[in-house]
Structure 1
Amino acid sequence: MPLAFLAIDQGTTNTKVLLVAEDLRVLARGSSAVPLDMPAPAWFEQDAEVIWAGVLDAVEQCMNAVPNVVLAGVTISVQRESVVAWRRSDGRALAPVIGWQDGRMAEFCAELAAEGADAMIRARTGLRLDPMFSAPKMRWLVDSLRSAGAASDDLCLGTVDAFLVHRLTGGDTFATEAGCASRTLLLDVDKTAWSPELLDTFGIPAEVLPEVRTSAGGFGRTAGAGSIPADLPVLAVLGDSHAALYAQGCRTEGAAKATYGTGSSVMAPAVRRHGFSGLLSTTLAWQIDDPAFALEGNILATGAALASTARLLGVADGPALAALAATVSDAGGLIMVPAFAGLAAPHWDRDAQGLLVGLAGDTEPAQVARAAIDAVAHQVCDVVDVIDDENAPLVELRADGGGSRSDVLMQAQADLLGRPVAVSAAAELSALGVVELALNVERGERGAGPGGAVARVYEPQIDVDRRAVARARWRDAIRRSRGLDTGR
């Protein structure tokens, strides 16, 4: 029996676990749904104990499928900016997980910006001051737990990777991966260390935060839980979008990837560390020796836009919505802006409102469905426009994630982008990317690989004039969503 890796991929709506052979073949799969709660408008919460139980359940599914497998180690890919508070003594969660798309600290961020903190934060972190990132959520949890009388000397605070590492190792390892740490607004990415100035700005005590380690720097050994054997090395950790970029092999100018999940990450290798406008994030993608940087635009609602529209129209889910959208050639003049919790990159407007422009008496459900599909593609185009202007013109977009399985969405993306879209053949790119990184480091290979197999390439099928009209109408709808003067 060949050696295999237990690859944990903890995402926004599902926890997936793969058994992956050394040649990156998937030997078994397990999954467990993660419920998402919205206790107030723009609040997104999850239960950390449900996440942990889901990891154990998905691992058990894999181990039952291949009972005699010999495990070489564990790798982890995770949703990134979501924040967990837990007890150092026993690993138990102290509060709900605050999800990455949560906007409850928008006013707090606005106050910091009014005090002039945004420029300093951007210089240290490469990120904008926005409630999507972790530090504002951490501040909310610190204040909440203090009010509840929680003991600060027993508090751990971190992103989901740190929580899982702590639980997997039975509390022996309290550490986070550099790329995940770079999404908190607390890491000085030039020094790859927590910044005392940023900790002071957000009011986060240094002692509650994990140690920052390189992406394959070793994260302890498993303590044994459920079907997870004891004494397995936790080899490597990456943020899910970073792992997808690594697996796609995007490391040269003109390359970029888009991951279509609940939200979307559009990411390209950065041609430099400094000097960007700030419309996109300069993020630490991974660190083996020196940090590798990427330019990234995060979109709050892509898969979420499809799911919400499906619910509105009374169809089963996103794939059913895409099938409905495929029955019409266009949206009949409709433009949807899915600003359910405002807009992130490149607009950065948490006050933006969701809207549907062009509704008529004869509008059909299929046209509404098509408008939702087009909205996903337009949002990706908005990010690519900035990558073209500030980084390097995009030659081809590589696509992965659940939404990349939709023919109608991928064709819309190619049409509106005006460039080919190459869809990955692998469905679990994030999990495979971090395994590939662990293997490459073990073999002494420092760079990302050539990229995985491509299932299909979608070529643009509309002309330049039609594309320009569609993009102009989208930009007009964005101005309306943001409450800006449209000039009419």
Structure 2
Amino acid sequence: MTAVIAIDQGTTGSGAHVLQSDGAFRSGATIDHKQFYPQAGWVEHDPEELVGNVARLIAQHKAGATGIGIANQGETVVAWDAKTKKPIHNAIVWQDARTHAEIEKLKAAGHEETTLARAGLPLDPYFSAAKLRWLLDNVAEAKTLRREGRLRLGTSDAFFLDRVAGQFATDVTTASRTSLMNLDTLQWDPQLAELFGVPIECLPEIRATAGDFGAIDGVPVAASMVDQQAALFGHGCRKPGDAKITFGTGAFALAIAGSKPLKNPKTGLLPTIAWKLGDAPVTYAIDGGVYNAASALNWARELGLFADFSEIETFDGCAIERGLAFVPALSGLGCPYWDRSAAGLWLGMGLETSKRDMLQSLLEGVALRAAQVIAAMDGLQPIAAKLSIDGGLANNGYFRGFLAKALGRQLTIPASLELTGLGCALFALIGAGLSTIDDLPQQQTGTLVEAAPFDRALVNRFADAVERCRNWRA
């Protein structure tokens, strides 16, 4: 019998996963969706396509299910009509940078101190609040619906839940990525809402990660969360210092912080919510993101630098030791810099530089940026000696070996690389009352990658390259 199904609604597609009552976990169907780039720096999805794919996957896999979990993209936002449930504009994706100018105005006015103190987040187009404000200012129907009391604003999960489960709600992990939720009260913050000009009455109710989110054709939706928090749970991270990095479109590191938020803006790390299970106290995390990981590799493939991933499994030596560095700042720099003015950069090229050299340095650059994030985390919350990774790049032998060296840590690569789906399913298992956090089914042990000696001077060389890429777009 199927215990629960998990839907992972991600940046490039949606996937279904099934967790059986005996602990067996398998992946089901996947559906890709279109990406829209209306202008430079703008990224959109069609909300109808997204919710249609979610509904289709649930319909295909719900037979015998006793619970459903839905993981979402995080900071991606939608505006829709409360009466018709129809979106009034394309979803604005987490990668989108259209609000850069407005964010800079808020920074210049000294408001970042407020967002850091109350939401735990810096001012950056990455987060949801400014995107929601953009919809209010630029979509005529948004103004009309607001006057009529019919406007709904929220992250993509709230739209899905309202549309398919009849619940206008979000969870604390997703709300913590908006810059509108107070990290201490776990409620929408009036001061932040006023700062960004987002009406609280248009926002969804904030609920626990595992709990009641309505039902779809009689099957309870028992969990809803950000995909990265689902992955954190799927990795088996449970105690302070446990950490994971997911190498997807970007590279996202999360570490368990414990029962209190760790706020230290100087580190460039983000205090956030790991999860909240029913009425139990919230568990906090620290978060650090690298905007470009697999997206940088896909970009290189589109440029014709390679055709098949088998071509980039092995390399001789080390590119950065030869003086060649790549900074994957194609969408700017995330943690710990939060600098959208930065640009992608190859440094140290000469007439002898080949395509393979460039690809090797690209893989190393993603790894070294991830190492910068983990180093920042370790200074705030000591990180365990063993770190778990997943995502497409975790399949690349050269990348994971170099990453282990750059981190100076042993890496665990779980048996299943669908950690977002697994974590989402485990949350749903708890939300449906079928298990507790202490009695979850055990998953297969993965493989280990041992750290090897690494000249720490190379870390400083890379840090110098990062500094050189900054302020290019200023």
* TM-score, normalised via structure 2 length: 0.92
Q: Is the 8 A contact 2:44 2:92 kept in 1?
A: yes
Q: Offset of 1:321 from its aligned partner?
A: 4.2
With over 3 angstroms needed to count, the CA separation of the structure-2 counterparts of 1:447 and 1:144, relative to structure 1, is farther
Corresponding residue of 1:368 = 358
Kept in 1: contact 2:88–2:141 (CA 8 A): no
What secondary structure does 2:16 align onto? strand
Moved more, 324-333 or 96-105: 324-333
Are the counterparts in 1 of residues 210 and 224 from structure 2 also a CA contact under 8 Å? Answer: yes
Match of 1:217 in 2: 211
Alpha-carbon separation, structure 1, partners of 2:416 and 2:343: 35
The alignment status of 1:156 with 2:152, answered yes or no, reads: yes
Equivalent position of 2:33 in the other structure: 34
- Asked if the contact 1:42/1:340 (under 8 Å) is kept, the reply is no
Displacement of 1:129 after TM fit? 1.4
CA apart distance, 1:334: 1.9
Give secondary structure in 2 for the equivalent of 1:70.
Answer: coil
Is 1:237 the counterpart of 2:224? The answer is yes
- Report the Cα offset of residue 6 of structure 1: 2.3
Contact 1:182 1:284 in 2 (8 A): yes
Correspondent of 1:472 among 456, 460, 473: 460
Q: Which aligned pairs between 1:69-84 and structure 2 lie closer than 5 A?
A: 69-84=63-78
1:356–1:325 Cα change, 3 Å: farther
In the alignment, is residue 129 of structure 1 matched against residue 119 of structure 2? Answer: no
Distance 1:149 1:199, change over 3 A: closer
Q: Does 1:12 align with 2:37?
A: no
Deviation larger for 286-295 or 266-275: 266-275
Q: Which of 342, 345, 348 is 1:355 aligned to?
A: 345
Q: Matches of 1:62 and 1:314 in 2, distance apart?
A: 39
Specify the alignment match of 2:102 in structure 1: 108
Task: Determine whether 1:414 maps to 2:404.
Answer: yes
Within the candidate set 389, 414, 417, 1:427 is matched to 417
Aligned residue for 1:287? 276
1:445–1:298 CA distance, 2 compared to 1 (3 A): same
Larger RCO (CA within 8 A; separation ≥ 6): 2
Alpha-carbon distance, 1:209 to partner: 0.6
Paired-residue identity, %: 33
The RMSD of aligned alpha carbons is: 2.1
CA distance in 2, matches of 1:333, 1:352: 21
Partner Cα distance (1:451, 1:391) in 2: 27
Deviation at 1:427, TM superposition (A): 2.1
The partner residue of 1:180 within 174, 181, 201 is: 174
| Alpha-carbon distance in 2 for matches of 1:221, 1:250 | 29
Q: Give the total of aligned pairs.
A: 463
Distance 1:83 1:190 in 2: 23
For 2:150 and 2:135, locate their aligned partners in 1 and report how far apart those are by CA, in whole Å: 14
Mean Cα displacement is larger for which, 323-332 or 475-484?
Answer: 323-332
Secondary structure in 2 aligned to 1:437? Answer: helix
Which residue number in structure 1 is paired with residue 371 of structure 2?
Answer: 381
| Contact 1:8-1:77 within 8 A present in 2 as well | yes
**What do the CA deviations read for 1:369-414 (whole angstroms, capped 9, x no partner)?**
1111111101110101111111114412101122212222111110
Bigger CA drift: 233-242 or 45-54? Answer: 45-54
> Is the Cα contact below 8 Å between 1:77 and 1:239 reproduced in 2?
yes
Equivalent in the alignment of 1:328: 316
Q: Unpaired segments of 5 or more residues in structure 1? A: 64-68, 223-229
Alpha carbons 1:175, 1:213 under 8 Å: kept = yes
CA-to-aligned-CA distance 1:159-196 (integer Å, 9 cap, x gap): 11111111212xx2100011101110000121111011
C-alpha distance in 1, partners of 2:194/2:310?
47
Q: Which structure 2 segments of 5+ residues have no match?
A: none
Structure 1 residues 269 and 385 mapped into 2: Cα distance closer, same or farther (>3 Å)? Answer: same
Letter in 1 for 2:271: T
Supply the distance in 2 between the matched residues of 1:482 and 1:217 (Cα, whole angstroms): 43
* Residue number in structure 2 paired with 1:94: 88
CA distance in 2, matches of 1:23, 1:135: 42
CA distance in 2, matches of 1:19, 1:293: 27
How far apart, in 1, do the equivalents of 2:87 and 2:26 lie?
32
Give the whole-Å Cα distance in 2 for the aligned partners of 1:302 and 1:39: 23
TM-score by length of 1: 0.90
Q: Which moved more, 1:332-341 or 1:144-153?
A: 144-153
**How far apart in 1 are the matches of 2:316 and 2:245?**
25
Q: What is the CA–CA distance in structure 2 between the aligned matches of 1:251 and 1:47, rounded to whole Å?
A: 35
Distance 2:438 2:119 in 1: 23
Task: Kindly provide the amino acid, as one letter, of the partner of residue 288 in structure 2.
Answer: G
Provide Cα deviations, 1:242-291, integer angstroms capped at 9, x if missing partner: 11111222132432100111012101111542442351100011112211
Cross-structure match for 2:289: 298
Q: Distance in 2 between matches of 1:264 and 1:220?
A: 32
- Aligned with residue 303 of structure 2, among 300, 312, 315: 312
- Rounded to whole Å, the distance in 1 between the matches of 2:23 and 2:179 is 34
Does residue 249 (structure 1) correspond to residue 249 (structure 2)? The answer is no
Aligned to 1:145: 139
Kindly state the Cα deviation for residue 422 of structure 1 after the two structures are TM-superposed: 0.7
